[in-house]
């Protein structure tokens, strides 16, 4: 077999491959012999059909299948011989497929980029540290109470944070507009669900009262037909209900499935959850900085095949997340290209760091991570056992741990500054940069 390689771009390779005719004929004959053993043809006993008849009936198909098999096998042999690492399936261009002659074809494909990860000492990391103070715990308990607010009918004028049951009809230029009317809608004043002025205009209203609100849709309103237009809403208040926060009692604690009884037991469990959230938030922020630093220090070209595959994965995820009748391939690729490129490049960089430093998952850390996740459940021992009985889930944890070890490797060489902050600041999500 003859093989020649041409580098057409930084990542694209063009393999010209010639396979001797004898190999093709051997493969064709093998196919025909297999067919002869099982062919059922009227007038002949199974396995006794003359080869001339087998060739006449099945020769063309056998050659086509044999050529396909030889191309697949010879391509693999060629990339191994040339020490190439394809990043996707090749595009095959046949040059000569004539029976009795050498098979000639060209395979065009991209290879994985070859690079060494560098620039560790130029990466700057701010590592936060924080504790869960008693005041943070008190705030969290209030948040939990508010999340479980109940509303009771009140015989008084409406205030902010009250829940109103209303009917309303909206008009633009004296005409009722689509989607501008509803009956029996529950609206919490101050929730900003409605356009500016709507909720404020109902403060002080009582059950049975009708109010007319003259408002203007925001200029950036999502419905362009209504954006910036004046509107009149006629609103009837059916009822006014005031918020009632639940008491911190056994009935409230039971909603969270916490075994510990009493307020102190509940506070202990909530604190554990907050501390777990804090550790994850700090770890996530450090990881994001490390990954951003690796990206900035190691610009690499991305194989188109990998980028396309990642775009397709993100399309599927988007459809699964948002539902609807849309098919993944109907979503524009441009929506996902930037995110896909980041993920592909980081995947290549992380894999290369693992290779450079010969990293392997630390099984003690794997168990610690599983135990940490299991601690959020009522029967943690069962959760740990489940992970160790499911190879796929266990390997996913190993991958996460290996990525953490990559982060630790970078931190040993990067410029790390430690900073003490409050719990709130530590767990606050990082805001995405605003586009210019």
Domain spans in the chain, listed from the N-terminal domain onward: 1-108, 149-242, 251-425
Give the span between the Cα atoms of 291 and 12, in whole angstroms. 27
Select from 53, 64, 2, 56 the least CA-distant residue to 27: 64
- The CATH-assigned architecture of domain 1-108 is 2-Layer Sandwich (3.30)
pLDDT at 54 over 70: no
- The CATH-assigned architecture of domain 251-425 is Orthogonal Bundle (1.10)
* 149-242 to CATH, choices 3.30.1050.10, 3.40.30.10, 3.40.50.1000, 3.10.50.40: 3.10.50.40
| pLDDT tens, residue by residue, 364-389 | 999 999 998 998 787 899 999 999 99
Q: Which helix (H) or strand (E) holds 140?
A: helix 134-147
How large is the average pLDDT for residues 281-308? 95
Give the span between the Cα atoms of 173 and 332, in whole angstroms. 38
- In this structure, what are the phi and psi dihedrals at residue 268, rounded to the nearest 5 degrees? -60, -45
| pLDDT tens, residue by residue, 309-321 | 999 999 999 988 8
Give the span between the Cα atoms of 416 and 414, in whole angstroms. 6
> Long-range CB contacts (< 8 A, 24+ apart) of 417-421?
417/124, 417/125, 417/126, 417/127, 418/127, 418/128, 418/129, 419/126, 419/127, 419/128, 419/129, 420/128, 420/129, 420/130, 421/128, 421/129, 421/130
pLDDT for res 435 = 42
Percent of the chain with pLDDT strictly greater than 70: 94
Cβ-contact 1, 77 below 8 angstroms: yes
The side-by-side arrangement of strands in the sheet containing 103-110 is 2-7, 12-19, 103-110, 91-96
pLDDT at 337 over 50: yes
pLDDT at 30 over 90: no
Give the span between the Cα atoms of 378 and 398, in whole angstroms. 24
Cβ-contact 324, 32 below 8 angstroms: no
Look up residue 357 and give its two tokens. 């430093």
pLDDT for res 120 = 96
pLDDT at 124 over 60: yes
How large is the average pLDDT for residues 116-130? 96
pLDDT for res 45 = 62
- In this structure, what are the phi and psi dihedrals at residue 156, rounded to the nearest 5 degrees? -160, 175
Average pLDDT, the chain: 91
How large is the average pLDDT for residues 96-111? 90
User: What is the helix, strand, coil percentage profile of the chain, to 5?
Assistant: 45, 20, 30
pLDDT for res 100 = 81
pLDDT at 48 over 70: no
pLDDT for res 131 = 97
| pLDDT tens, residue by residue, 223-273 | 989 999 999 999 999 999 999 999 998 888 888 877 667 899 999 989 999
């Amino acid at each position: 077999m003859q093989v020649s390689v041409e580098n057409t771009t930084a990542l694209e390779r063009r393999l010209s491959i010639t396979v001797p005719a004898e190999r093709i004929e051997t493969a064709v004959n093998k196919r025909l012999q297999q067919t002869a053993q099982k062919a059922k043809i009227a007038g002949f006993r199974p396995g006794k059909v003359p080869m001339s008849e087998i060739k006449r009936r099945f020769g063309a198909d056998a050659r086509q299948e044999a050529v396909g098999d030889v191309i697949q096998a010879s391509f693999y042999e060629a990339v191994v011989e040339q020490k190439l690492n394809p990043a996707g399936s090749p595009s095959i261009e046949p040059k000569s497929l004539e029976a009795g002659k050498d098979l000639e074809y060209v395979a065009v494909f991209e290879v994985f980029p070859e690079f060494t990860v560098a620039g560790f000492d130029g990466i700057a990391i701010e590592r936060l540290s924080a504790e869960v103070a008693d005041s943070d715990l008190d705030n969290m308990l209030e948040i939990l109470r508010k999340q479980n607010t109940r509303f009771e009918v009140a015989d008084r004028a409406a205030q902010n944070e009250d829940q109103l049951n209303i009917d309303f009809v909206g008009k633009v230029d004296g005409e009722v507009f689509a989607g501008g009317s509803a009956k029996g809608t529950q609206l919490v004043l101050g929730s900003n669900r409605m356009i500016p002025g709507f909720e404020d205009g109902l403060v002080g209203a009582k059950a049975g009262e009708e109010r007319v609100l003259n408002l203007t849709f925001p200029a950036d309103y999502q419905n362009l037909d209504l954006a910036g237009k004046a509107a009149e809403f006629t609103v009837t208040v059916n009822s006014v209900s005031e918020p009632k926060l639940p008491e911190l009692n056994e009935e409230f604690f039971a909603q969270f499935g916490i075994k510990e009884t009493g307020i102190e037991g509940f506070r202990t469990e909530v604190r554990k959850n907050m501390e777990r959230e804090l550790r994850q938030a700090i770890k996530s922020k450090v990881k994001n900085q490390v990954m951003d630093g690796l990206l900035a220090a190691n610009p690499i070209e991305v194989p188109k095949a990998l980028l396309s595959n990642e775009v397709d994965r993100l399309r599927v995820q988007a459809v699964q997340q948002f539902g609807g009748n849309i098919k993944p391939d109907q979503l524009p690729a441009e929506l996902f290209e930037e995110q896909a490129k980041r993920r592909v490049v980081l995947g290549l960089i992380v894999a290369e760091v693992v290779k450079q430093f010969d990293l392997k998952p630390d099984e003690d850390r794997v168990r610690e991570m599983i135990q940490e996740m299991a601690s959020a459940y009522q029967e943690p021992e069962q959760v740990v056992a489940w992970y160790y009985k499911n190879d796929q889930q266990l390997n996913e944890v190993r991958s996460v741990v290996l990525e953490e070890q990559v982060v630790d490797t970078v931190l040993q060489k990067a410029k790390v500054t430690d900073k003490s902050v409050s719990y709130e600041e530590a767990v606050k999500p990082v805001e995405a940069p605003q586009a210019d």
